Amino acid sequence: MTFGARLAAAMDAHGPLCVGVDPHPGLLAQWGLPDTASSLVTFGDAVLEASTGACAAIKPNAAFFERHGSAGVAALEQLLGRAREVGLLTILDAKRGDIGSTMQGYADSYLRPGAPLEADSVTVSPYLGFGSLAPAFELAQEHGKGVFVLALTSNPEGAEVQHAIAPDGRAVAAVVADSAAALNSGASPMGSVGLVVGATVGDAVQRLGIELDRVNGPLLSPGVGAQGAGAAELSLVFGNARGCVLVNQSRGVLQAGPIVEKLREAVVAAAADVTSILRESQVERKG
């Protein structure tokens, strides 16, 4: 089964929530944990237990594991392996992007079955050219994995590149979206090449002529709920593509730890909240 089909089934079963796994120093301290690699294992285990069967996917942020060196990477390897065992989909937030054999190396690291850091999907950066990511797309297609491409991020600096006009007259973000749509053509219920689109980018989608409803793939979106975006913002940004939106939430959920029961309550509440907001956005658009 393709990643797109597996993710669509998980979203149908558990709602459109992806829980970020971001063990940064401040959050570890809030949990009463020291800033050590062993704390990453404790942190990851708690989030995994709280999230299994309560959300569509988890998204470990590679940077917070890598900062602890080999022991931190080992903690990430353990988290990804345990998630596979319990059937919880993973999006490894690594934002890799390069050319040739280097991109192939990144693809092998995260998308090849049996790799130590094997994930169900990975985030990538297209700013060496969308075509440079071909090794990741090819390996993902071969092994039923997914790829999420940065398209319209909510940080202010992103507009310098994403809103720029490419030689063919399209905005760079529109080129990324159209390229993803081509790879997802004909896939059902949705393709395995997703985009990262912030829920707080305002009218950028319309201004840049981006057709998200043609992408036919998952749209990973931070910024919903406590981070500022509600029904009106989702309607504005995603339009008729709202059914493909996978909402990422990190701090708003993770601050409920370290007690697993409290953390699970927060995951369940967040899943219900984002489902409600997406439904309200449909009403908002009709209105």
Enzyme catalytic residues: 95
Do residues 196 and 123 touch, judged by C-beta distance below 8 A? yes
Count other C-beta atoms under 10 Å from residue 252's C-beta: 17
Backbone phi, then psi, for 208, in 5-degree steps?
Answer: -95, 0
Q: Is 123 helix (H, G, I), strand (E, B) or coil?
A: strand
DSSP β-ladder status, 121-124 and 89-96 = parallel
Q: How far is the C-alpha of 201 from the C-alpha of 219, rounded, in Å?
A: 14
The residue among 8, 2, 10, 245 whose CA lies nearest residue 145 is: 2
Burial 150-161 (b: 16+ CB within 10 A, else e): bbbbbeeebbee
Residue type, 148: F
Backbone phi, then psi, for 247, in 5-degree steps?
Answer: -85, 125
